[in-house]
Amino acid sequence: MTGARRAPGFGIGMNFRRLMAILGGSVPVSAVAIVLFLAVYAWPAIRFNGFGFIASNSWNLGSLYAEPVSQGGAMILPGAQYGILFLIVGTLLSTAIAMLIAVPVGVGAAVFLAEALPGRARLWLSFLVEMLAAVPSVVFGLWGYAVLIPLLGHYIFPLMTGLLGWIPWFGEPAGSGYGLLTAGLVLSLMIVPLIAATLRDAITAQPMYMREAAAALGATRFETIWKVILPGLRPVLIGAGILATGRALGETMAVLMVSGNALNVLPHSIYAPISTMAAFIASQLDSALQDPTGMATRALAEVALVLCLIAVLVNVLARLILARATAATSQQRA
């Protein structure tokens, strides 16, 4: 062994590590580059808009055919102001509705799949649920536009205003089918497989002794799941839930095709049109590019920055909750 400086095989030891570090560095570099770029590019808009950006409902590109004027330290078109409160509200509300629908449905489906079905049915139905995850978002938008909106707008929403009209936010007018509830529904369909599949795998992975112990104590099958198995899976549910929220927050195409594209108005009922930040960026970029002062594109970059910050915040929050929940459950087990 004494004469052999280089080991057989590649034996490139430290250089391999450096190579992996450099190539793998594409991940952190991309992430930082994008957020930094957005911040730098949006800076003139951030300075011009101040806090009014997230507090007011006044997105106005200004008079595109008038002479630019100087205002607030920057050259802008007269009348231009950028306030995106309606976007923030639209994004958060549609994601909230999506989660409110997706979590119970996902948990229910996961429980049923894991516990109530014999082998072959479980395999095929699990596969069916996972197929939902494979459908691209523009196809969801296509289905929502072609099938769901006529159905909701002509039949279901009028029915709902009739039956549930006494609840605030559920009353007349039933709208055209494009709106908050439709967007929330389509989003929930897109994120439910995430929750259902992850939870189902986690439930089936749970050891039999817990089920046996609960059965020995006289619990029904469902009580075993609900009171014994699921509580231990809280970290998994939270993790999947966070991933789902992240996906819903950033969803563009499907929302663009069903949300109604509201401008500067907050929704007054669940049937009202909304706009989300992601869909807004996609639909307004062309108009913004017509601003000769360039302030409009920077304001859009600011929207993108706010969206990124919300997404990152959700992620960080998830890790904290997850860490605490995992610690709690391991404490319970100990």
What residues from 286 to 325 belong to the interface with another protein (CB under 8 A)?
A: 286-287, 289-290, 292-293, 297, 300-301, 304, 307-308, 311-312, 314-315, 319
Rounded Cα distance between 102 and 185, Å, is: 9
Give phi and psi for 4, each to the nearest 5.
Answer: -85, 100
Establish if 217 lies at the interface with another protein (CB under 8 A): no
Establish if 104 lies at the interface with another protein (CB under 8 A): yes
**Tokens linked to 66:** 């008038």
By the 8 A CB rule, do 148 and 262 touch? no
Residue from 108, 162, 165, 231 touching another protein (CB under 8 A): that is: 108
Mark the segment that binds another protein (CB under 8 A) among 133-141, 207-215, 231-239, 326-334: 133-141
Q: Where are the alpha helices (DSSP H) in 56-205?
A: 85-115, 119-134, 137-143, 149-151, 157-164, 180-205
**Tokens linked to 162:** 């009739």
CB of 288 to another protein, least distance (A): 8
Residue from 13, 72, 162, 231 touching another protein (CB under 8 A): that is: 13
Measured over the CA atoms of residue 128, residue 129, residue 131 and residue 132, the dihedral's sign is: positive
Residue from 48, 53, 145, 157 touching another protein (CB under 8 A): that is: 145
The residue behind tokens 């075993």 is: 224
Query: Based on C-alpha coordinates, what's the Rg of the chain?
Result: 25
What residues from 256 to 275 belong to the interface with another protein (CB under 8 A)?
A: 260-265, 268, 272-273
By the 8 A CB rule, do 53 and 79 touch? no
Establish if 251 lies at the interface with another protein (CB under 8 A): yes
Residue from 2, 3, 5, 23 touching another protein (CB under 8 A): that is: 23
**Tokens linked to 149:** 């909106």
**Tokens linked to 80:** 């231009």
What residues from 34 to 53 belong to the interface with another protein (CB under 8 A)?
A: 34-35, 37-38, 41
Residue from 5, 21, 333, 334 touching another protein (CB under 8 A): that is: 21
Residue from 48, 53, 157, 178 touching another protein (CB under 8 A): that is: 178
By beta-carbon proximity to another protein, the closer residue of 10 and 51 is: 10
By beta-carbon proximity to another protein, the closer residue of 92 and 332 is: 92
Rounded Cα distance between 106 and 48, Å, is: 44
